[in-house]
A and B are shown apart, each in its own frame.
Chain A
Amino acid sequence: MTRDLAAPEAGGRPPAAAEPVLEIRGLRVSYDAPTGRVQAVAGLDLVLRPGDSVGLVGESGSGKSTVALAVMGLLPAGGRVDAGQVRLLGRDLTTLPEHELRAVRWRQAAMVFQKAMSAFSPVHRLADHFVDVWRAHRPERGRRARSLALERARVLLEAVGLRPDALWAYPHTLSGGMLQRALIALALVHQPRLLILDEATTALDVVTQAQVLSEVARLQREFDLTTLVISHDIGVVAALCRRVAVLYAGHLVEEGPVQQVLEAPRHPYTAALVRAFPRLRGPRRRLESIPGTLPDLTRPPQGCVFADRCPRAAGACREGPPPVEHSGGRMVRCRFPLGGDAGA
């Protein structure tokens, strides 16, 4: 099956399996705002090795989508990478000129967007999108390009559970779930190494969401994808990812294997996030919201960014940045982490 789905030129994979697909080091991104520059991502480190699936969670405004856009080099006007590196298959994208970035997009890293309903041009058939996206990175032209592109599109649409004749549909005739699948198929046209799913199932109803999630989980294996899943929904991340990274106000506060982090969170923010989601199994619990809001990111606090909302915060938390603790494949950035016994 995998062989059938592979892109025609898929033989040219780099052999070094241990080399990270995506390596983000000290990434800082800021936006222009009327009151000054907003620090959206403040020194992020994240490594995705081949076959990894990492979930990036956090509440609205935590900087999740900014990370995705920075990786694709698609920061909107006013947004800027201030420091750090984004290495995709060893190449730093932050220093690449636009035309070289264009060559990287979709061939090495592709992205599935949240709003599938508007991710296709309303006056073009799906086929037009597939043909043009295919041609953007292939030398063939004319009729031959079209037939090759459509052939690939049919295979991919079937792989995501759509009928190949959906190619001839206009977007408004398809449902949200079908469009989301079509968008995933479009992302796989050039057999990317890295697939970023930015809130890719958030707009779907729970039943459709579950279906699409299981398709994605299958595609991860079949297409040998390394995935970065961005979501505010820890359930989505639990379903798709092996590791999870928790982002708060542009800072990575905790990272580790998904089951360990969600079952025994060490950072107070992760713990609060987990408590804010309902569980299907286990005893009934009251859902808890997290009091307060994100800090003003035009004037980042000196100490821990979560201190103002943290039930465990002490004076020391507000004076300097919290220490980073690594242990057993987990990272936590907190002066007083939970479950001290799991620490050093």
Chain B
Amino acid sequence: MWTTLGYLARRCGALLLTLAVVVVLNFVLVRAAPGDPVRILAGMDQPSPEMVEALTRRYGLDQPLAVQFWAYVRSLLQGDLGRSITFERPVSQLIAQTVGPTLLLTLTATLLAFALGVALGTVSGTRPRSRLDALLSLAAYLLYAMPPFWLGMMGMLVFASWLGWLPTSGMYDVRSPQTGLAHWLDVAHHLVLPAATLALVQMPVFYRVTRASVVQVLGDDFVTTLRAAGLRPGTIFRRYVLKNALLPSVTMLGLQLGYVLAGAALVEVVFSWPGMGRLTLNAIYRRDFPLVMGIYLVVSAAVAVGALITDLVYGWLDPRIRYG
């Protein structure tokens, strides 16, 4: 128990250190990129030098980098992510608004991909080199090779435009806003296509990992022991093979969960989903330094926390892993 707590404390320390490095890197990288926000704000059409100068001063961009960095760190320590230059609103507010829709989309999609990938991987892994296995493997390769935005557009074309079963874009119907349960049903309806798109492109990874691991575990010696002992194959599979075979898939799930905030940008753009991915792209286009840095910081924190949770869950599932 105490070793676990000590381990947790050390991991949290490492997490803070990671985030500190991220803060420095973000600051440097964002400013090293070509272009600056003043250019965008002032317009490309021969802005007056006075206006450019005024804007530059207003956002503190005339100060030396070290001074800018110190100001940034000081406000971060006070929990302030700064103000967006282009949206004229606090960065934290913009992120808070978009993090919900993104989590709804990506968590749904990732869990769906995990469930589907593990189920199909188990089907394939228990009958390797069969016709069904070959078919599933081929389908998984095709999906893996497919760009998510293209798959999204095809889904939109077929299920929204031709069949008219599903809405094309957005998170809810803006023309007739609903409340209560009707609102959530509307959201679920809008969620189907983007979540399915994201789930289908993530699924092959879980499928391949699960299939390989089921094949390997079924050949393990302990399976022979249990078969020799007269256990039914179904019992052996449910009680022993699955728990062994799922370990790598759980690792994959943890790694994927780290990218829940950042991984869906293209799909969000295709489906006009009001999430963080779209916000990120806009911030980058407009060289909105504070917003870009704020988003990167939150995403990095999510990845780091996701990795920590994965390690903890893994240690709980696999007794061979001990914290020390």
* Pairwise interchain contact A113-B221, C-beta atoms closer than 8 A: yes
CB of A86 to closest CB in B, whole Å: 15
Cα A74 to Cα B220 in complex, Å, equals 14
B89 within 8 A of A: no
* Pairwise interchain contact B222-A121, C-beta atoms closer than 8 A: yes
* Pairwise interchain contact A183-B225, C-beta atoms closer than 8 A: yes
Residue of B nearest to A196 (CB): B228
Cα A129 to Cα B230 in complex, Å, equals 12
For A129, the chain B residues whose CB sits under 8 A away are 225-226
* Pairwise interchain contact A120-B230, C-beta atoms closer than 8 A: no
A57 within 8 A of B: no
Among A101-109, A268-276, A325-333, the one that faces the other chain is A101-109
* Pairwise interchain contact B244-A102, C-beta atoms closer than 8 A: no
CB of B97 to closest CB in A, whole Å: 43
Q: State whether A124 and B224 are in contact (beta carbons under 8 Å apart), knowing that A136-B230, A136-B231 are contacts in the complex.
A: no
* Pairwise interchain contact A133-B231, C-beta atoms closer than 8 A: yes
CB of B289 to closest CB in A, whole Å: 48
Interface 1/0s, chain B 302-323, versus A by CB < 8 A?
Answer: 0000000000000001111000
Cα A124 to Cα B223 in complex, Å, equals 13
A111 within 8 A of B: yes
How many of B's residues come within 8 Å of A, CB to CB?
22
B183 within 8 A of A: no
Among B50-58, B138-146, B152-160, B235-243, the one that faces the other chain is B235-243
Give the residues from 142 to 176 in chain A that come closer than 8 angstroms, CB to CB, to chain B.
170, 172
* B228 interface neighbour in A72, A122, A124, Cβ under 8 Å: A72
* Pairwise interchain contact B232-A102, C-beta atoms closer than 8 A: yes
A244 within 8 A of B: no
For A289, the chain B residues whose CB sits under 8 A away are none
A110 within 8 A of B: yes
B247 within 8 A of A: yes
* Pairwise interchain contact A172-B319, C-beta atoms closer than 8 A: yes
Residue of A nearest to B227 (CB): A74
A342 within 8 A of B: no
* Pairwise interchain contact A119-B239, C-beta atoms closer than 8 A: no
For B235, the chain A residues whose CB sits under 8 A away are 132, 136
Cα A34 to Cα B221 in complex, Å, equals 25
* Pairwise interchain contact B240-A124, C-beta atoms closer than 8 A: yes
* Pairwise interchain contact A74-B319, C-beta atoms closer than 8 A: no
* Pairwise interchain contact A106-B229, C-beta atoms closer than 8 A: yes
Interface centre among B221, B228, B247 (most CB of A within 10 A): B228
* Pairwise interchain contact A111-B222, C-beta atoms closer than 8 A: no
For B239, the chain A residues whose CB sits under 8 A away are 128, 132
Cα A76 to Cα B319 in complex, Å, equals 30
For B320, the chain A residues whose CB sits under 8 A away are 122-123, 170, 172
* Pairwise interchain contact A107-B244, C-beta atoms closer than 8 A: no
* Pairwise interchain contact A107-B230, C-beta atoms closer than 8 A: yes
Q: State whether A137 and B240 are in contact (beta carbons under 8 Å apart), knowing that A113-B221, A120-B225 are contacts in the complex.
A: no
* Pairwise interchain contact A132-B226, C-beta atoms closer than 8 A: yes
Cα A183 to Cα B239 in complex, Å, equals 19
* Pairwise interchain contact A137-B222, C-beta atoms closer than 8 A: no
* Pairwise interchain contact B228-A121, C-beta atoms closer than 8 A: no
Residue of B nearest to A189 (CB): B229
Q: State whether A118 and B244 are in contact (beta carbons under 8 Å apart), knowing that A123-B317, A133-B226, A137-B230 are contacts in the complex.
A: no
A317 within 8 A of B: no
Cα A137 to Cα B235 in complex, Å, equals 13
For A124, the chain B residues whose CB sits under 8 A away are 240, 243
A186 within 8 A of B: yes
Residue of A nearest to B232 (CB): A102
For B222, the chain A residues whose CB sits under 8 A away are 118-122
* A136 interface neighbour in B220, B229, B317, B318, Cβ under 8 Å: B229
For A183, the chain B residues whose CB sits under 8 A away are 225
Q: Which residues of chain A have a CB within 8 Å of any CB of chain B?
A: 72, 74, 102-107, 110-111, 113, 115, 118-124, 128-129, 132-133, 136-137, 170, 172, 183, 186, 189
